[in-house]
Amino acid sequence: MISGNHHSRTLCIWSNTLGINRLCSTSFPSPREVGMGTSTRLPGPKNGSWTAAKGRLGTWTPDATSRPDQLLEHDQQRAEAIAAQYQRSLRDALNADPEAFGIRAAAEQAGGRLIEFLDGLGRADLSLVGDLAVGDDADEFVRRFVGQIAGDGQLIVDAAVRRAARRVAEHLVTQEGPLADPGRPRPVTGELFCALYRAFFGEVVGEFVHILIAENVKIAVPALAILDPTDVVAGFVADQVVKVLPNPCAEAVKHGPEPPRLADVAKDLLTTTVAQALGLGDSGLELAA
């Protein structure tokens, strides 16, 4: 795993017949570790829902015994409600201006590169992976993977995409991951392909909200607090997004006994997936009050 100064965030993969909802990892860079390349702070959506969400988060003090992977019931309910309000606010802002923040274009471009990469791993074709699979340094693999998938853009939305890409990379090189041994990579299964595909877009939105919160909300928490309310809320945003995303594996099955390649299905779904992740148009997204 990646070394350095990290805050803890537990993200679990929940397996089911159609794939996996979220990535597993426990150490990720704090927002300040990610170069944002902006000289001014990025304000959040200018609507009442965003203001209300900021107020609810700013006044939330989690129980001292809550942990990222085991919240007390009232803290979980509070975090889920705040996450839903932030997501609703972002959805409303993007429906008013679909190009706001540049998040839709950034997610589609990075998503296309991710599909190509995972497809190469699924076919055990490392020509698309290039020198990313050479050597045995997991940190270097993660760094190069993030650069290949997320690019080197300097906007805040690019920082969110990089952090989402980093989570995918970290899963690939974990002890159970297909690239745990770069010298002998294992093919990415269809189930894992679909899981990482969906989780990536959930994390893009969650991380974007995370950065906007860090930019705009002052939270009074003890210096030694184990649980970061900002991070918990972002995690629930990612969870909520993944629940509404199309699953390439399920879509492929609909084509009968000779389904198309998952990468082709994922590419066909890309625009719809990003739109649904952002709540654009008729996504069927229903959020808790």
Q: What is the pLDDT of residues 188-221, one digit of tens each?
A: 889 999 999 999 999 999 999 999 888 777 776 6
Query: Pick the residue with more confidence: 92 or 287?
Result: 92
Rounded CA separation 215/29 (Å): 16
pLDDT value for 187: 82
Share of the chain above pLDDT 90, in %: 44
More confident residue, 283 or 167: 167
More confident site: 61 or 23: 61
Average pLDDT of the chain to the nearest whole number:
78
Dist CA 8 CA 11 (whole Å): 10
Please, which pLDDT band fits residue 112 given cuts at 50, 70 and 90? very high
Tell me what the mean pLDDT of segment 233-243 comes to.
Answer: 94
